[in-house]
């Protein structure tokens, strides 16, 4: 027993494909917007959010790295970014930044 005709399957596949494309597009657009904000003298909060995002990406890369030296280097880069946020503006999401610094230091000590 056939549940759907071929045209219905094609429409569903097209809708799923469009949805997946839409999911990828905002991320790419957001990355371009981040780069433009970084270059255009955006607000301090925007710059700190960008540093947080980039530091988190470095941390994640370190967590998945197999080579111990490279792993440690990426985690240290992430930690430097989080610490620079705290130094630049201690009032910018302090609990979140302190939590990330603490967890990153813990990860770094376990990577030794």
Query: Would you list the domain boundaries of the chain?
Result: 7-42, 43-112
| Spatial contact of 88 and 50, defined as CB atoms under 8 Å apart | no
* Residue 38: predicted pLDDT: 57
* Residue 13: predicted pLDDT: 53
Closest CA to 25 of 35, 17, 14, 37: 17
| Spatial contact of 101 and 79, defined as CB atoms under 8 Å apart | yes
**Is the pLDDT assigned to residue 68 strictly greater than 60?**
yes
pTM of this structure: 0.61
């Amino acid at each position: 027993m056939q549940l759907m005709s071929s045209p219905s399957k094609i429409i569903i596949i097209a809708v799923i494909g469009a949805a997946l494309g839409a999911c990828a597009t905002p991320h790419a657009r957001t990355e371009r917007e981040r780069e433009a904000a970084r270059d255009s003298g955006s607000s301090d909060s925007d710059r700190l959010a960008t540093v947080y995002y980039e530091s988190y990406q470095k941390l994640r890369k370190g967590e998945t790295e197999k080579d111990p030296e490279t792993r440690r280097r990426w985690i240290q880069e992430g930690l430097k970014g989080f610490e620079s946020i705290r130094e630049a503006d201690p009032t910018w999401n302090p609990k979140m930044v302190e939590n990330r610094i603490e967890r990153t230091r813990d990860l770094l000590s376990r990577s030794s």
